[in-house]
Chains A and B, each alone.
Chain A
Amino acid sequence: MRPHFLEVKKSMASTTAPAVVPQSGAERASRSGIWVGIFAITMSFMAFSSALFVRQGSLDWGHLVLPPILYLNTLVLLASSGTFELSRRHLEFHTAGRVGSSGSGVAWLLATLALGIAFCAGQYAAWQNLRAQGIYLATNPNSSFFYVLTSIHVLHVTAGILAFVYLLGRLTIGSGLARRSFFDNTAIYWHFMGVLWLYLLMLCRIKL
Chain B
Amino acid sequence: MSETSAQPAHVHAPPEGFWRKHVFSLDHKVIGKQYYALALVAVFTGMFLSWLMRIHLVWPAAKIPGLELMSKAGAPGGIMTPEYYLSLLTMHGTLMVFFVLTNAPFAAFGNYFLPIQVGAEDMAFPRFNMMSFWLTFLAWAVLMLAFVIPDGPPIAGWTEYTPLSAIGKDAGPGMQWGASLWGISIAIFCAASLLGALNFIATTLDLRTKGMTLMRMPLCTWAWFITSCIALLAFAVLLPACILLILDRHAGTSFFIPGGLVASDRLQPHSGGSPLLWQHLFWFFGHPEVYIAILPSMGIVSHILINSMRKPLLSAKVVIYSMMSIGFLSYMVWGHHMFLSGMNPMSALAFSFPTLTITIPATILTLMWLGSLYGANIQINSASLFALGFISMFVSGGVSGFFLAQPSIDIYLHATYFVVGHFHMVMGVASLFGVFTGTYFWFPKMTGRYMNEGLGKLHFWITFIGTYCIFMPFHYLGLVGNIRRYQSFVDDFMAPYIPLHKFITIAALITGAAQFIFLYNLIHSRFWGKPAPENPWNATSLEWTIPSPPPWNNFGDKHPVVYHDPYQYGVKGSGGDFVMQDSPEPAKGSGD
Contact = CB atoms under 8 A, between A and B. Distances in A.
Contacts of A3: 9-10, 13
Interface string A45-78: 0111011001101111100000000000000000
Contacts of A50: 280-281
Interface string A1-29: 01101110100000000000001111011
A135 to B, nearest CB: 13
Given A47-B237, A60-B272, A32 B206 contact: yes
Contacts of A165: none
Given A40-B236, A51-B240, A144-B253, A25 B4 contact: yes
Contacts of A33: 124-125, 198-199, 201-202
A55 B248 CA distance: 13
22 contacts: A2-B10, A2-B13, A5-B8, A7-B9, A24-B4, A25-B7, A25-B206, A26-B8, A33-B124, A33-B202, A40-B198, A40-B233, A43-B236, A44-B237, A44-B240, A47-B236, A47-B241, A50-B281, A55-B274, A59-B272, A137-B253, A141-B255
B273 interface: yes
A39 interface: yes
Contacts of B513: none
B207 interface: yes
Interface string B248-260: 0001111100110
A148 B239 CA distance: 13
A144 B12 CA distance: 44
A29 to B, nearest CB: 4
Residues of A contacting B: mostly: helix
A36 B120 CA distance: 20
Contacts of A24: 4-8
A152 B4 CA distance: 36
Contacts of A206: none
A28 to B, nearest CB: 4
B243 interface: yes
Contacts of B316: none
Interface of B: 4-13, 120, 124-125, 194, 197-199, 201-203, 205-207, 232-233, 235-237, 239-241, 243-244, 247, 251-255, 258-259, 271-274, 276-277, 280-281, 284
A138 interface: yes
A24 B13 CA distance: 18
A30 interface: yes
Nearest to B8: A26
Contacts of A60: 259, 271-272
A141 B281 contact: no
Interface of A: 2-3, 5-7, 9, 23-26, 28-33, 36-37, 39-41, 43-44, 46-48, 50-51, 54-55, 57-61, 137-138, 141, 144, 148, 152
Contact of B281 (A6, A30, A51, A152): A51
Contacts of A7: 5-6, 8-9
Contacts of B6: 7, 24-25
A144 B240 CA distance: 13
B124 A137 contact: no
A33 B276 CA distance: 34
Contact of A39 (B13, B232, B243): B232
Given A24-B6, A55-B272, A137-B247, A37 B281 contact: no
Nearest to B233: A43
Nearest to B190: A44
B206 A36 contact: no
A37 B191 CA distance: 11
A2 B201 CA distance: 25
Contacts of A57: 274
Contacts of A39: 232
Nearest to A7: B6
B6 to A, nearest CB: 5
Nearest to A40: B236
Contacts of A29: 124-125, 202-203, 205-207
Which 4 pairs of residues, A with B, have the shortest CB-CB distance? A138-B252, A29-B124, A60-B272, A43-B236
B36 to A, nearest CB: 24
B277 A51 contact: yes
Contacts of A6: 8
